[in-house]
Amino acid sequence: MNARMLCRLAQALSCVLACIGCAGSTARPSADEVSRGGSRPVASATGATCAFDETAVLEAGERLALRGLQPGDARRRGEALASAKSALETGSPAQATAALHAWARWNELPFDRAEARALVEQHLAAPEAPRRRAAWRALSALGRMEGLCESSMALIDDPDPSLRADALRFVGAACGGLVEARTEQVALSALDEARARGGWSRACRSIRGLRLGPGLQQRLLDAALDGDEDAAAVLEFAPAKSRDFVQRLLAATAIDGSAIELAGACLRGGIAESDQPLVAHAALSWWKARVGSELGAGTVALRLLELHGSSTEAASLLERCAGDAECLRVAGVLAARAR
């Protein structure tokens, strides 16, 4: 058993011990009781609290969120915000969790975000997993993650599997992407564990759109070239792709023509201006070799040429249009463009 698993076991055990003496309580409060404060968890002889009914809490949070989202009703919105603020300051764990769910839905409402962050941040290390989870999600929705890089990386070892599954998204938001060596290594380890535990797809969704370090780009490219659609989707939306990534993917298309479709998806965006000629040159070669191809190389080639090409490729492309209307259009676009 490695150190990470021991850490999780210790954290989980502390949560279990905190609930000793509460097992006899079987009452399940309704969403109305949560809103009124009747959902305060039953206390044990030591003062610890039991886990609350998460379903009722979610329902209460949704009702509170809808009160705040009433269009044109400033009074109800103000009351909902005040109620959520009070719950985060002095409410029971269940009430606070419901309020956190509501805050996660209110990211577009007008309110003091600095004050909201301060209220939400108090619950990031709550003993109840649903409350911790709701707090991180609310903070992410608020877009106020600065200064929480270290705290977010600790989520990789959180005893709650759902929070661990979302940890990479929070790390990326709090640390400015998964680029630095430290955060990239955390992400690589988390992805390895996700694959081993069957959570690969969710882990990949959690990092979609984040800036990725070169090691992560290469790891995901390995998977994508082996046909992994989840990895391919991450790379398609990844900004700031490295030159090594671009060169390796283009080299793969020369070995396996089916990789052209992957290149067409992954090289549409996130390409540095200095690497655009590499993509355009490769795309032009795909257009030249399109005759007899059933791989859609011609369509991919024209799409990438329009995105990354310049007047440098215009004449060569025009010579090989052979009356193709889309090719002629793209050649005209490139002819008018300077590099």
Domain boundaries, the chain: 1-144
pLDDT at site 98: 94
Please state, in angstroms and as integers, the Cα–Cα distance from residue 18 to each residue in 14, 85, 154, following that order.
Answer: 6, 27, 21
CB neighbourhood size of 101 (10 A): 24
pLDDT at site 51: 61
Asked whether 67 and 98 are in contact (CB, 8 A), the reply is: no
pLDDT at site 164: 87
pTM summary value: 0.73
Alpha carbons 130 and 257: distance in angstroms, whole number: 47
pLDDT at site 121: 94
Torsion (CA) 120, 125, 127, 129 in degrees, nearest 10 = 80
pLDDT at site 339: 60
Residue ranges of the chain with per-residue pLDDT less than 70: 1-51, 291-295, 339
pLDDT at site 219: 95
Alpha carbons 200 and 218: distance in angstroms, whole number: 16
pLDDT digit string, tens, across residues 24-74: 333 444 444 444 444 444 332 223 344 678 889 989 889 998 888 887 788
